[in-house]
C-alpha cells in the first residue's frame, strides 16, 4: 500500500490540477500558488510557493537585480520555500523563483523590517470565506488606498479549511498582494477541521518556534517599536472545574501551554524598553454585537492581563462587520470581520449591556483597516471594502516630537553649527564636527562661541574656541568651582597665564590634514560634535 506521504502528495496534486492548468499558459510553468512572502524580519525573509516541485529550484534576489544572489529551495511534496538571509534592515529586495529548467515566476518585492525608530504601516482584515467578488473588492481597494508593510488577518480565510479548492481561490485573489506583503494569520474556526488546521499550518510560516510557542497557531513577532501576538482562541478549555484548578474560577480559559506562553511573552515585551506598543489579535474577540452571540469568555478573561502590560489594541474578526469600542477596563478593541463573508446584522445596545463596555462605531459593511504607528502614536483608519470611503478614524497615544528631522525646524537650534536629527522620535540638535587644523591659522575667521575669545589648534587636531577671560587663577585647582562648559563630551579647566581656560579631553585626530579652505576632513567622525562654549559664571 502506498505510504501516507505519497498518497497525500497525489491527492494534493489532483486537487490542484485545475489551478495548475489555469496558471500554466505553457507546459513549463509549474507554480500554482505563489510565490508569496512569509516571516519577514530585519535580516531575513522566507519565499514560499506550491506546485509541482522538481529538484533544483532556487530564488534569485538582490537590491537591484534578482541575479545578485541565490537561495536554494527546500521542497516537501508540493510545498517549497527558500530562506533569504543576510539581508539589510529596512531595505527593498527584488526576488524571483526559478525552476531547474529555467522557468521563472513573476518577480516580487520584499521590504525587510525596519529599525525601531522608523514609523510603519500595516493592514488588517479578516473573514473572507467564499464570497470571491466581495473578497476581491476588499483586496483591490486596500491596495489602492494604502501601502501596508505587512498584513494581520483575523481568521476564516476560507469557508472550509480542509478544501484545497477554496485555498486555490484564496490565493488567486490575494496573489499580487501576498507576492510583496507578508501576512500573519490568526487561526479561525473555519480553518480547523476536527480540531486541526493542517492546510493552514502547511501554507503559512509564522515565527512560532522563534517566539517560544509550541504550536504554529499562536506566536508573536516584532515590527519597529511594536510587538504583535496572535492567539489561538480555538484551543481552550470550557470545563469550569479545570479552569478553577488553574486559579481561574470561570468557564472558558486558554489551554495551559498557551496560557503560560502568553504570560511569558507579554512579560518579555513589557521588560523591553524598545517596545512601546503591543497589539494582540485573534479570531473570536471579547465582545460581539451579532444577535445571538456574546463574544469569547476566554478572551474577555484575558483583558485584565492585557491591561497590566503594554497592550494598546485588541483586534479580532469572526463577526462580519466593523466595530470599534473600549473594554470595561479601558482597552481599545476593533472587530475586523468584513473581508468578504456575508454580513451580519448588529445590535450594539444589547451587547454593551450584557458585558460592560463602550461601543463607539458598529457598521455592517465589508471593511479593512490601515494602521500607522509613529513613535508613541497609533493612528487607525477603517475603510469600506468596496469604495474605499473612510468608515472610522481614531488615535491611541500622543504624537511624538518628530518622525523626521524636518519636523524639528521650528525648535530653537543649539549654540553650535549643526542640524536637527530625529533619533527615537525625539528632536536632537547635532553639532557639526569642528574643522581640522595643524595651526590656529587654519581655523575659521568668524567667532566660534558665545563669549569673546579666539581659535586655537590643540593637540586634538581640531579647532577649538577659547574664551579670553573665564576666571582668574594661580593654579588649576582655582578653576574647580567654575561651571563646566558644554563644549565637548569631556573636559577640564587649566590655569593658563593666570586665567582659567577650558580644555576638551582627547578627541580622535582627523583622518587627514586640513585642506586650504580649513574644511573638515572627509573622514571626520560627525558624531564627535563640538558645540561653541558658553561663558561660565565667575566664582563668588
Name the H helices within 314-444: 348-354
Please give the pLDDT value at position 533. Answer: 38
CATH code linked to domain 1-113: 2.60.40.10
Q: How far is CA 241 from the centre of its chain?
A: 40
- pTM: predicted TM-score of the whole model, two decimal places: 0.75
Please give the pLDDT value at position 24. Answer: 36
Residues of the chain with pLDDT below 50 are: 1-12, 14-29, 508, 510-540
Q: What does 83-130 look like in DSSP terms, one character per residue?
A: EE-SPPTT-EEEEEEE-TTS-BPPPEEEEPPPPTTS-EEEEEE---TT
Please give the pLDDT value at position 8. Answer: 46
User: Which segments of the chain belong to CATH 3.60.21.10?
Assistant: 115-397
Please give the pLDDT value at position 468. Answer: 65
Q: pLDDT digit string (tens) for 212-269?
A: 998 999 999 999 999 999 999 988 887 777 777 776 655 688 999 999 999 999 999 9
Q: Which of 53, 43, 101, 93 is nearest to 73 (CA)?
A: 53
Classify residue 67 by its DSSP letter. T
Please give the pLDDT value at position 515. Answer: 43
What is the SS3 string spanning 34-53? EEEEECCCCCCEEEEEEECC
CA 438 vs CA 14, 263, 441, 532: distances in Å: 79, 61, 8, 20
- Strand, helix or coil at 226? strand
User: Which segments of the chain belong to CATH 2.60.40.10?
Assistant: 1-113
- Residue 455 host element (H or E): strand 453-456
In CATH, the architecture of 115-397 is 4-Layer Sandwich (3.60)
What is the SS3 string spanning 468-484? CCCCECCCHHHHCCCCC
Alpha carbon distance 327, 349 (integer Å)? 15
Amino acid at each position: 500500500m502506498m505510504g501516507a506521504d505519497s498518497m497525500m502528495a497525489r491527492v494534493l496534486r489532483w486537487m490542484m490540477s485545475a489551478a495548475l492548468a489555469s496558471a500554466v499558459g505553457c507546459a513549463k510553468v509549474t507554480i500554482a500558488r505563489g510565490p508569496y512572502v512569509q516571516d519577514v524580519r530585519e535580516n531575513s525573509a522566507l519565499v514560499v510557493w506550491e506546485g509541482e516541485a522538481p529538484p533544483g529550484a532556487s530564488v534569485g534576489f538582490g537590491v537591484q537585480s534578482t541575479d545578485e544572489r541565490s537561495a536554494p529551495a527546500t521542497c516537501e511534496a508540493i510545498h517549497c520555500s527558500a530562506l533569504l538571509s543576510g539581508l539589510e534592515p529596512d531595505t527593498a529586495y527584488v526576488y524571483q523563483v526559478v525552476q531547474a529548467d529555467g522557468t521563472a515566476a513573476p518577480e516580487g518585492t520584499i521590504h525587510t523590517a525596519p529599525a525601531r525608530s522608523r514609523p510603519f504601516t500595516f493592514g488588517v482584515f479578516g473573514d473572507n470565506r467564499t464570497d470571491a467578488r466581495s473578497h476581491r473588492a476588499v483586496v483591490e481597494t486596500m491596495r489602492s488606498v494604502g501601502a501596508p508593510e505587512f498584513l494581520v488577518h483575523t481568521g476564516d480565510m476560507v469557508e472550509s479549511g480542509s478544501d484545497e479548492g477554496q485555498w486555490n481561490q484564496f490565493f488567486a485573489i490575494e496573489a499580487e498582494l501576498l507576492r510583496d506583503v507578508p501576512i500573519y494569520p490568526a487561526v479561525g474556526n473555519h480553518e480547523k477541521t476536527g480540531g486541526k488546521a493542517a492546510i493552514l499550518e502547511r501554507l503559512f510560516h509564522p515565527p512560532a518556534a522563534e517566539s517560544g510557542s509550541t504550536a504554529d497557531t499562536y506566536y508573536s513577532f516584532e515590527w519597529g517599536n511594536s510587538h504583535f501576538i496572535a492567539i489561538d482562541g480555538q484551543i481552550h478549555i470550557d470545563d469550569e472545574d479545570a479552569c478553577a484548578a488553574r486559579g481561574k474560577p470561570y468557564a472558558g480559559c486558554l489551554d495551559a501551554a498557551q496560557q503560560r506562553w502568553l504570560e511569558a511573552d507579554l512579560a518579555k515585551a513589557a521588560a523591553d524598553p524598545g517596545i512601546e506598543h503591543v497589539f494582540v489579535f485573534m479570531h473570536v474577540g471579547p465582545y460581539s454585537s451579532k444577535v445571538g452571540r456574546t463574544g469569547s469568555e476566554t478572551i474577555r478573561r484575558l483583558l485584565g492581563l492585557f491591561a497590566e502590560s503594554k497592550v494598546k489594541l485588541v483586534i479580532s474578526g469572526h463577526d462580519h462587520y466593523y466595530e470599534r469600542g473600549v473594554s470595561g477596563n479601558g482597552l481599545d478593541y476593533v472587530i475586523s470581520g468584513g473581508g468578504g463573508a456575508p454580513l451580519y446584522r448588529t445590535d450594539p445596545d444589547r451587547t454593551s449591556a450584557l458585558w460592560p463596555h463602550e461601543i463607539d462605531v458598529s457598521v455592517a459593511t465589508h471593511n479593512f483597516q490601515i494602521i500607522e504607528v509613529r513613535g508613541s502614536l497609533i493612528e487607525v483608519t477603517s475603510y469600506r471594502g468596496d469604495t474605499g470611503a473612510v468608515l472610522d478614524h481614531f488615535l491611541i497615544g500622543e504624537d511624538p516630537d518628530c518622525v523626521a528631522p524636518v519636523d524639528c525646524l521650528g525648535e530653537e537650534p543649539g549654540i553650535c553649527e549643526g542640524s536637527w536629527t530625529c533619533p527615537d522620535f525625539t528632536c536632537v540638535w547635532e553639532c557639526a564636527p569642528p574643522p581640522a587644523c595643524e595651526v590656529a591659522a587654519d581655523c575659521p575667521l568668524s567667532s566660534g562661541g558665545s563669549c569673546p575669545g579666539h581659535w586655537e589648534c590643540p593637540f586634538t587636531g581640531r579647532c577649538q574656541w577659547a574664551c579670553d577671560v573665564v576666571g582668574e587663577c594661580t593654579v588649576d585647582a582655582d578653576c574647580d568651582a567654575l561651571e563646566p562648559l558644554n563644549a565637548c563630551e569631556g573636559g577640564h579647566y587649566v590655569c593658563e597665564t593666570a586665567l582659567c581656560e577650558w580644555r576638551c579631553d582627547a578627541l580622535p585626530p582627523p583622518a587627514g590634514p586640513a585642506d586650504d579652505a580649513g574644511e573638515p576632513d572627509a573622514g571626520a567622525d560627525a558624531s564627535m560634535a563640538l558645540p561653541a562654549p558658553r561663558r561660565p559664571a565667575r566664582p563668588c
